[in-house]
Chain A
Amino acid sequence: MMATGADQAVGFGLVGFSLLLFTYYTIWVIVLPFVDSDHVIHSYFLPREYSVILPGVAALILLFFVGTFIGVVTWKNRKPKKVD
């Protein structure tokens, strides 16, 4: 009784995406400092500062969406004079 098609696709898609993200980010943060600076692999990665700035920006965007969602839902559920 496995989960049906779309659920499996979404689930394994999430797993794959997070594995990709983990691998790329680990190479960026942990492996690259020990690689010679004239190696070709450095051309696939942004400068090191971005490895901190980009997740920070992503976290802010996430917070923004969560806050907006909460605001929209609260606004939709408001009742005149009394909130349940």
Chain B
Amino acid sequence: MTKLLEWLLGVSLIGVAWGLFTFDLLDLQLPPQCRELAWPMPVYLLVVFGCYSLATVGYRVATFNDCENAAKELQAQIKEAKEDLKKKGLKINNDYLKQKSSSEVPLIPFKLPKLLRGGQTVKRGADLQSEGQSSENTRSGCELRNQSAV
């Protein structure tokens, strides 16, 4: 049985149980408070799930292991590699690598993949690392890591 079928089966079982309690289809004569408790249950579970998601995202934003030095160094390396490749004739048309006019380093693109993957390595810039340039800042302890393997 596929995962989808499992989930659908579970959800429909819970839905049937909820329907039985809410509409009193088996005439179980439960105390009125139990019926009062049962009928908002689907909405309640959704709200609880939403609160949990919001809290998790907020907590991970607050405890994210920023490495501003490493990010700036990486941006400089990307620029250097891009110019080097341009000299060798490679045309790069990648909007992500465009340097914005503002002085602030765009750190958000580095944070989102980390947030969404919950701690796995960041893939961007991995190809540029294979150019042979080694960084003096090994970025140990920071959560911004480059690996040549995907």
Query: A residues bordering B, Cβ < 8 Å?
Result: 1-4, 7-8, 10-15, 17-19, 21-22, 25-26, 29-30, 33-34, 48, 51-52, 55-56, 59
Could you tell me the dominant secondary structure of chain A's interface residues? helix
Q: Which of A11, A25, A48 contacts B47 (CB 8 A)?
A: A25
* B66 and A19 within 8 A (CB): no
Could you say which residues of chain A place their CB within 8 Å of the CB of B47? 21-22, 25, 55
Total A-B contacts with CB atoms under 8 angstroms apart: 86
Question: Which of under 10, 10 to 19, 20 to 34, or 35 or more describes the interface residues of B?
Answer: 20 to 34
Q: B35-68, CB under 8 A of A: which get 1 and which 0?
A: 0110110011011100110110111111111111
Whether B2 is near chain A, meaning CB under 8 Å from some CB there, is no
Could you say which residues of chain B place their CB within 8 Å of the CB of A21? 47, 51
Whether B141 is near chain A, meaning CB under 8 Å from some CB there, is yes
